[in-house]
Structure 1
Amino acid sequence: MTTKTQHYHPLHIALHWLMALMIPALFGVGLWMTGLDYYSSWYKTAPDLHKSFGILLAILLVSRLVVMRRFGKPAALSSGWQQKAAGIAHALMYTLLLAIMVSGYLISTADNRGILVFGLFEVPGFGEFFPEQADIAGTVHFYLAWALIVLVVLHAAAALKHHFVDKDNTLKRMLGRRNAAASSIDKTEI
């Protein structure tokens, strides 16, 4: 049940920017923690936080998809190849996020232990589903994370191009700014 609108719902905007902060942060921490040695004070803490924030990111992703389904999203301001490219990039980002989350889960639970999330609850582990699961899933996790970061950079560059070159409202809409014409057309039920 979606409604055509000229701007994003405030929940969609909030979830977008939370995820926009978390994804590069998780990527950076993930790279940093692979270089930690056993004697580092962060050796156990960094992976535990990385896993907890990864679970939080999964919750935000599901929430974002629900919000998008419930409130819809505005029509693209561009057309033709740009609109198709944006659709493919968004689908790839969501797919990569999901695959990264699954591979992270497979790394973390290969030893049959669950994932303790900020000390509040535990996501259960089911052990190894295939031989060398943690190593294989770790390699997949690493390369998928790099692919996601490349797409995120392209996504940000496209948003800046829309703002500074095309001078359209694509970025402004995701910042929550509404122009007078778009606000008067909006039919969204909140």
Structure 2
Amino acid sequence: MQVRNSPTRYGVISMCLHWAMAIAVYAMFGLGLWMVTLSYYDGWYHQAPELHKSIGFVLMTALVVRLLWRRVSPPPPALKSQTRLTRIGAKAAHLALYAVLFAILISGYLISTADGKPISVFGLFDVPALLADAGTQADLAGSVHLWLAWGVVSLSALHGLAALKHHFIDKDATLTRMLGKASPDSGA
């Protein structure tokens, strides 16, 4: 398996970042929905948010690494069989996913640091609070965070459905390229 992306397939680093982040985003969504249902006396009441914050920081780091990796190892070009509208839609969807992910992570940071305290990442190190305005910041960021979380889950579900459509209906290599298989129909 190749490390870098090629004109016909994604490399192992891009695939690992893609699938690990997809799993983490859905896990974080589930964790977030679950933790807001906990009562003060539940054993996970304090632990779940700390876990959520730590994973969120790891996700932010992975997102930055992923974007830097795209500069070092650009993704394969769109398939020749894809229409111009499909290519534009795919670029717009990817940009939207990246933008919403960044916005979720920033809003999570603002919620977590609203009281002026740093975020402890798995107890290993702290991420300092740069902005702090307690109630107002936390409330607004919390609402934004929730809506963006639903947005990224919806967008990623559409992304997955589009990949399945390409695979089963269009019978092209869009999905298989993200699974490490070469595409004979590559290039712009």
Shift, 1:130, TM fit = 7.8
Shift, 1:119, TM fit = 1.1
Shift, 1:133, TM fit = 0.5
**1:132-190 per-position Cα deviation (integer Å, ceiling 9, x unaligned):** 100110000000111111101000000000111111111101011225x47xx99xxxx
What is the SS of the residue equivalent to 1:166? coil
**Distance change in 2, residues 1:127/1:75 (3 Å):** closer
Distance in 2 (alpha carbons) for counterparts of 1:39 and 1:104:
24
Partner of 1:34: 36
**Distance change in 2, residues 1:46/1:85 (3 Å):** same
One-letter code of the match for 2:172? D
Distance in 2 (alpha carbons) for counterparts of 1:130 and 1:30:
20
Work out which of the residue numbers 6, 14, 17 in structure 2 matches 1:12: 14
Shift, 1:131, TM fit = 5.9
CA contact (8 A) 1:24 1:149 kept: yes
CA contact (8 A) 1:4 1:75 kept: no
One-letter code of the match for 2:138? A
One-letter code of the match for 1:173? R
Distance in 1 (alpha carbons) for counterparts of 2:83 and 2:124:
46
CA contact (8 A) 1:113 1:127 kept: no
Shift, 1:118, TM fit = 0.9
Partner of 2:177: 173
Work out which of the residue numbers 109, 115, 130 in structure 2 matches 1:111: 115
Shift, 1:8, TM fit = 1.3
One-letter code of the match for 2:78? A
Q: Which range moved further: 124-133 or 12-21?
A: 124-133
Partner of 1:81: 85
Q: How does 1:1-190 map to 2 (within 5 A)?
A: 5-77=7-79, 78-129=82-133, 132-179=136-183, 181=184
- TM-score w.r.t. the length of structure 1 is 0.90
One-letter code of the match for 1:70? V
**1:100-132 per-position Cα deviation (integer Å, ceiling 9, x unaligned):** 011000000010111100111110113425861
CA contact (8 A) 1:110 1:126 kept: no
Distance in 2 (alpha carbons) for counterparts of 1:99 and 1:55:
13
Shift, 1:9, TM fit = 2.1
How many matched pairs? 182
Distance in 2 (alpha carbons) for counterparts of 1:171 and 1:35:
36
- TM-score w.r.t. the length of structure 2 is 0.91
